[in-house]
Amino acid sequence: MGARQRLNSLYFTCILIIAAVCGVAMESWGVCAGVMIMLAVISIHGGNIRPGPTTRPRRRFRRH
């Protein structure tokens, strides 16, 4: 498993823990799900969670 996968799994684990704590505090499954989705979207948009490898377009160099 690469570094990107490890970081992504760590972020998802933290998201689950935070959502579970919020859900238990409010005694609501809806709050748990809402917090989980909200944190995941914020983390993906912020670039902390990277769904796929970032690939750069290959530049073809011509030899003259």
Residue numbers of the domain that contains 11:
3-46
- Residue 19 domain-assigned? yes
Residues of the chain with pLDDT under 70: 54, 56-57, 64
pLDDT at res. 42? 95
Specify the pTM.
0.76
Structural domains in the chain (count):
1
- Residue 23 domain-assigned? yes
- Residue 42 domain-assigned? yes
- Residue 57 domain-assigned? no
Question: Which of 37, 36, 12 shows the shortest CA–CA distance to 24?
Answer: 36
- Residue 58 domain-assigned? no
Residue type, 34: G
Q: Is the dihedral of CA 51, 54, 58, 59 positive or negative?
A: positive
- Residue 53 domain-assigned? no
- Residue 52 domain-assigned? no
pLDDT at res. 52? 79
- Residue 51 domain-assigned? no
